[in-house]
Structure 1
Amino acid sequence: MPRVIHVFRQPDRFIAGTVGEPGDRAFYLQAVEDARTVSVLLEKQQVTVLAERISALLGEISRRFGTEVGEDVATDEVDTEPLTVPLEEEFRVGTMGLGWDADSRSIVVELLAFTEEEVDESVVLDDTEEGPDALRVFLSPVQAKAFATRAERVLSAGRPPCPLCAEPLDAEGHICPRQNGYHRRAVVGES
């Protein structure tokens, strides 16, 4: 079957969102343009890396090309609406690519479907016939900053971290590896 590349040159929305309760959430990225919606499933860590790399790329673009990107995006520019339903995933994300298109002055995010085979770098941000399916989204610097801001909010809405080991705290309890499985207890009568 030929490769399918979903391209969004002027998306109305490109957002990170979740389904489920903290500790059992599924993470999605969703692109919407006119009546077309594409949703992809990915891991929490992938959302974290993408948000961090977009922020770093925006800083680099500002430094190199003088493209102005405000430090803080206005509150009304950050999409706070839920994911568009029905939520039907196109694929699970394996490889991610990020770049700057100087012609359109856009950040390009490419998400490739997970595959058991090793993905050749030449497939990322390219329209070759061979390779995994992909979602390619062009974002203005403001849209990219708004995406990163929302992604950070989505990530921080999960379980709070343990103050000792930074692992997520569960409602049922937490065995902290920093305490080596032991709890400190006061012993009566010891001096």
Structure 2
Amino acid sequence: MPVIHRFDPPERFVAGTVGEPGQRTFFLQARAGTRITTVALEKQQVAALAHRIDELLDEVMRAAGEDVVVPAVTPKDLADDLPLEQPIVEEFRAGTMTLAWDDSDDSVVVEVFPFTEESVIAPDQPEEEISEPEPAEILLVRLRPGQARAFCERAERVVAAGRAPCPFCGGPVDPEGHLCPRANGFKRSGA
């Protein structure tokens, strides 16, 4: 039986980082009272989660009409620019994440499962050989629509705050430049 870190709803659910651009570690953090759960994940996972939550909220707005109140933008009182709660204690590293809309209470449900080597599937692996291992822990967060929009807005800012992309190849540019594949191995500067 897995340990479920349940926040229904959390007082705070944010994405944040520790470290300098190019060396940042990304985290999801949920808090309810003094209980805090922190999960490490990749930058691309943060970006994908924020993008999918935004899409889900937009789909609900279109489908539900006036039946469900979903803000089109982040409500001003829910914007969160505070740093991550300290101390940062990583519960696990995120692997699979699921996302759903629960009609029963008009909430976004986010489930984050730990990364395990057993859950990596080879491209040539037959479907009948695929078995999901039982996770040791799960982060389960239920967000009100306004909270979900606030999460997305902050997550997008956190992702964008890293190194600027190269205008030629799209790869990240360090302050001292980078070896751009579009320049045949010549170093392009960050300026």
- What TM-score, normalized by structure 2, do the two folds share? 0.86
Aligned residue pairs, count: 175
Pair 163,5 (structure 1): closer, same or farther in 2 beyond 3 Å = same
Please name the residue that 2:130 is paired with: none
AA at the equivalent of 1:140: R
Residues 168-177 or 146-155, more deviating: 168-177
Residues 67-76 or 164-173, more deviating: 67-76
Please name the residue that 1:152 is paired with: 156
Please name the residue that 1:178 is paired with: 182
Q: Is the 8 A contact 1:108 1:137 kept in 2?
A: yes
The equivalences for 1:31-110 within 5 A come to: 31-66=30-65, 67-110=68-111
Could you report, residue by residue, the CA deviation over 1:26-63 in whole angstroms, capped at 9, with x for unpaired residues? 00000000110000000000001000000000011111
| Offset at residue 166 of structure 1 (A) | 1.1
- 2:182 is paired with a residue whose SS is helix
**Structure 1 stretches of at least 4 aligned residues deviating more than 3 Å after TM superposition:** none
Could you report, residue by residue, the CA deviation over 1:4-42 in whole angstroms, capped at 9, with x for unpaired residues? 111100210000000000000000000000110000000
| Offset at residue 65 of structure 1 (A) | 1.7
AA at the equivalent of 1:19: V
Q: Is the 8 A contact 2:179 2:187 kept in 1?
A: no
Following the alignment from structure 2 to structure 1, what is the Cα–Cα distance between the partners of residues 81 and 166?
Answer: 27
Q: Is the 8 A contact 1:115 1:132 kept in 2?
A: no
Q: Which runs of 5+ in 2 are unaligned?
A: 121-132
AA at the equivalent of 2:56: L
Following the alignment from structure 1 to structure 2, what is the Cα–Cα distance between the partners of residues 169 and 71?
Answer: 33
Following the alignment from structure 2 to structure 1, what is the Cα–Cα distance between the partners of residues 73 and 106?
Answer: 19
Please name the residue that 1:115 is paired with: 116
AA at the equivalent of 1:143: Q
Alignment RMSD (CA, Å):
2.0
- 1:154 is paired with a residue whose SS is helix
- What TM-score, normalized by structure 1, do the two folds share? 0.86
- 1:30 is paired with a residue whose SS is strand
Q: Which runs of 5+ in 1 are unaligned?
A: 120-128, 185-191
